[in-house]
Structure 1
Amino acid sequence: MKTRVSLWMLIAVLFTAFALPSSISASTGDQGINEKLGLPIVVYGEALSEAQKTDVAELLEVNKHDQVDEFTVNGQDLANYIGGNPNSNMYSSVKIIHQDHAEGLNIDIVTPDNITQVTKEMYTNALLTAGVENADVLVASSVKVSGHSALTGIYKAYDAKGVKLDEDRMKVASDELDIATDIAEEEGVDRDEISKLLTEIKKQIAEQDPATREEIEQIVQDQLQSLNIELSEEDRQRLIDLFEQMRNLNINFDQVQNQLEDLTGSIQDLINDDGFWNSLRNAVQNFFKSLSNFINSLFN
């Protein structure tokens, strides 16, 4: 009897080790005050109630830092930074931790169920367009929102800390986010595919350095064909207009080429996610089949 109990305890330990993910130390943990990079910044949506703000602060792990700089973003900020409706209710909140040069831009949506349209890859693409680099950015909302207004919170955080982002680039980044989510919603194109399309177009712009609108149009068309994405003529023109604006602003994507490469890889991993989970399910089934055979052999 003792042997049988010990055996089942061993099985339970094996199952727990196999089924539960190992703990991961967050890069946003309690590291004291970084005197070189400054305090972490938290920007809360003004429409949050006190209870919701408390929940969001917990989600953003604000208490893991000795000190933070806190701000609030409202509809007027939305109008000032990206030309949005000044009467908008702002719920999306963000935490930003500046990192050393070459650390890259890392986005984490901590409430994915409440950010209904924007993916972290879309945020990354838009923020690179706006000129935001080398930071950990956490996005949270206590209610379901599209996620667009989180950009405004990020822009305000940089502005409040004296880091002036280019206004034209911020506006183009907002347009990019709008176009990405519109295409996903209206054309029925997977959001990860749209993110990959935007990333690949930027990479080609960095490599080819197009000098005319016609060259931009060719790059857009080539990438649409390469990824087998069919768009209406209106949406195709919206993409061309978007990247023509970027060309006119002389946005240098060479500076973030490595991040664009990393972004392509992460998006491809998401696109292939079904295959990964199928493989994992098969592995689990095989594990328990082997375990069952092993147990049966002990008692036969």
Structure 2
Amino acid sequence: MMFKSLRRFTYSLLAILLACLSVPLLAKADGQSTTTHTLNSSYVVYGAGVASEHYADLDNVLGTDSNFKKLTSTASDYRKYISDSTNTTDAAMISSVAIAPGDPGSGVKVNIKDYNGSNNITTVTAQQYALVAQMAGVTDVTIVVTANRPVSGEAALTGVYKAFAADGATLNTTNTATANQMLDATQDAINANSDDKTYPGKLMAAVGDTTKQIAQEKQDGNSLTTDQIAKLLEEALAKRGISEQTTTNQVNNIVNVLVNFQNSPISSSSKYVSNVGNTINNVKNSTGNLMNKAKDWASSLDTKKASETAQNWFQKLIAWIQSLFS
């Protein structure tokens, strides 16, 4: 009788533990069926054009360790995720990235790190990377970008998308291609306002505001015209206080990509609507290359390690309980 009671108690305890731990597991499964994803592991992705002799220095700059899974981004990956009509070669893939899971609701944060004292990402800003990654279907991650020699940085997100594929969450290539078009569309405005360090964050926040409204309208069954999208963007620019700094031609370039965004799968995602707000908050008051403090990067890695430790403990607990009845 005592043995049966112990067994019933043990089964009840196991059921409670399973119920408690099933919530994040179910959330993960649900996330895999949508167009918005986060990571389970941490990755470092080297550009194919980087000689292996630079890997140790890159690891030091990126702040990675042996827990990061290592990948290489190639010209083939660039054609898959960014543009299939390019002549990009492996030798041109120079940017390297590290990417780690963030806390739920943290959005996308990006740091661009100097290599040997030089900022070798010469064109793209941290704020552009963050919002564009969110538009591609990435959320709740921290990304660190660097390069061992000067490059524009346009190919860096290829490594991020490849890491997600390796993690089991392949991003929709229509979303990634459209998102990367936003790098080009916003670049002229950012270059023209290079003397205003707050401009990239305000511009990308305005773009994020507009994508959120477009997605909400689409999910309500409304397809917006180009003029309506332009009006939304102009209102968002005014809200951020940069309408006078952004020319009509620059606005039109962005609107053209926003039209493509409306036709992309991610604009139908309710999770995009909720998640993009987190990234907007990250970029709107951000200046410079560092959106995430070093301690927060370390914290995201500690959170990942703690999660893995908890999972290992739970597996050992199940094995022990099973041994009682074997």
Q: TM-score, normalised by structure 2?
A: 0.63
Q: Is the 8 A contact 2:127 2:200 kept in 1?
A: no
Q: CA deviation at 1:194?
A: 4.0
Q: 2:53 aligns with which of 23, 44, 51?
A: 51
Query: Structure 2, unaligned stretches of length 5 or more?
Result: 1-27, 29-38, 218-222, 291-326
Matches within 5 A, 1:96-245: 96-111=99-114, 113-185=119-191, 190=196, 192-207=198-213, 209-210=216-217, 211-213=223-225, 214-225=227-238, 226-245=241-260
- Hey, what's the Cα distance between the residues in 2 that align with 1:52 and 1:262? 31
Q: Is the 8 A contact 2:108 2:141 kept in 1?
A: yes
Q: Deviations over 1:264-291 (max 9, x none)?
A: 13259x9xxxxxxxxxxxxxxxxxxxxx
Give the number of equivalent residue pairs: 232
Query: Structure 1, unaligned stretches of length 5 or more?
Result: 1-35, 271-300
Amino acid at match of 2:279: Q
Amino acid at match of 1:139: V
Q: CA deviation at 1:121?
A: 0.9
1:90 matches 2:93: yes
- Hey, what's the Cα distance between the residues in 2 that align with 1:72 and 1:44? 5
Q: CA deviation at 1:230?
A: 4.7
Q: Secondary structure at the match of 1:261?
A: helix
Percent identical pairs in the alignment equals 25
Q: Secondary structure at the match of 2:161?
A: helix
Amino acid at match of 1:183: A
Q: CA deviation at 1:263?
A: 2.1
- Hey, what's the Cα distance between the residues in 1 that align with 2:237 and 2:68? 43
Q: 1:127 to 1:152 in 2, by over 3 A?
A: same
- Hey, what's the Cα distance between the residues in 2 that align with 1:160 and 1:46? 16
State the Cα RMSD in Å. 2.7
Partner of 1:294: none
- Hey, what's the Cα distance between the residues in 2 that align with 1:200 and 1:231? 11
Name the stretch that deviates more: 200-209 or 122-131.
Answer: 200-209
- Hey, what's the Cα distance between the residues in 2 that align with 1:77 and 1:258? 28
Name the stretch that deviates more: 166-175 or 235-244.
Answer: 235-244
Name the stretch that deviates more: 222-231 or 256-265.
Answer: 222-231
- Hey, what's the Cα distance between the residues in 1 that align with 2:248 and 2:280? 27
- Hey, what's the Cα distance between the residues in 2 that align with 1:237 and 1:177? 14
Q: RCO greater where, 1 or 2, for CA within 8 Å and sep 6 or more?
A: 2
Greater radius of gyration (CA): 1
Q: 1:257 aligns with which of 251, 274, 277?
A: 277
